[in-house]
């Protein structure tokens, strides 16, 4: 039976790369492409990384009940179309949701059977390095994402399973392992100690308050 699999992580952790590799390596996995009101970054293409729409079209989709979930993130909106998800499920594919924690929790409310996987960075230093070196955002935008990292990590406590993205190859292998365990209703892997260490590190280095 096909599964709904939510992949979430703080910005810069590499969840989109992990999702892309899962789709590339496994024929029975597909990504649900989100709709967003933000502008494309870098080499992003409409209908590939996201469906880029304006506020008017997004509002219309909300009014027509077309979204399985939608959320506002960094002053932009993101949503998952019900029809896209049902089409992929009917093809027998596991559907990946490359979305933030707010969207992940919204899906869990509507579809309790969904598997929520939270991807962890190796360290907060590495997370800062990845964000500051991708050169697609302003210093203010980068700071906003760093400020959100602690809150996102804390939400990881609510996820069903955790994966450490020390290398993309290992992370992909672990996500594949978890989706197979979920199908068999077996106990999932949680990295609670590592997550708590990252939260403590974020509290210290990002100087945030909860």
Give the residue among 102, 99, 93 at the shortest CA–CA distance from 81: 99
Task: Quote the domain boundaries for residue 160.
Answer: 4-32+93-205
- Give the 3-state secondary structure of residue 4: strand
Does residue 72 form part of some domain? no
Give me the pLDDT at residue 7, please: 96
Residue 200 lies in a domain: yes
The CATH number for 142's domain is 3.40.50.300
Q: Rounded to an integer, what distance in angstroms lies between the CA atom of residue 38 and that of residue 106?
A: 20
* Domain-embedded: residue 57: no
Q: For the chain, how many structural domains are there in total?
A: 1
Q: pLDDT tens-digit profile of 105-116?
A: 989 999 999 999
The three-class DSSP label of residue 18 is: helix
pTM of model > 0.75: yes
Q: Answer yes or no: is 193 within a domain.
A: yes
d(CA 155, CA 102): 9
- Residue 86 domain-assigned (yes or no): no
Q: Would you say residue 163 lies in a domain?
A: yes
The per-residue pLDDT of the chain, averaged, comes to: 89
Q: Which residue has the higher pLDDT, 148 or 137?
A: 148
Is residue 22 in a domain? yes
Q: Quick check: is 184 in a domain?
A: yes
> pLDDT tens digits, residue range 36-53?
999 998 889 998 889 999
pLDDT in tens, 193-206: 999 999 998 888 76
């Amino acid at each position: 039976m096909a599964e709904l699999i939510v992949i979430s992580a703080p910005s810069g952790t590499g969840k989109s790369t992990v999702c892309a590799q899962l789709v590339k390596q496994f024929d029975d996995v597909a990504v649900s492409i989100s709709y967003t009101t933000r502008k494309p970054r870098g080499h992003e293409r409409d209908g590939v990384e996201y469906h880029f729409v304006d506020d008017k079209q997004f509002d219309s989709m909300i009014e027509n009940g077309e979204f399985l979930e939608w959320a506002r993130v960094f002053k932009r909106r993101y949503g998952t179309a019900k029809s896209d998800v049902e089409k992929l499920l009917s093809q027998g594919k596991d559907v990946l949701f490359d979305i933030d924690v707010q969207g992940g929790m919204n899906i869990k409310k509507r579809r309790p059977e969904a598997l929520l996987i939270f991807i962890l960075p190796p360290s907060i230093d590495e997370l800062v390095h990845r964000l500051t070196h991708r050169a697609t955002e302003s210093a203010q935008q980068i700071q906003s994402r760093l400020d959100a990292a602690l809150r996102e990590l804390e939400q990881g406590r609510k996820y069903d399973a955790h994966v450490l993205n020390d290398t993309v190859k290992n992370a992909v292998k672990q996500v594949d392992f978890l989706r197979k365990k979920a199908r068999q209703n077996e106990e999932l892997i949680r990295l609670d100690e590592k997550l708590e260490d990252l939260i403590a590190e974020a509290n210290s280095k990002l100087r945030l308050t909860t």
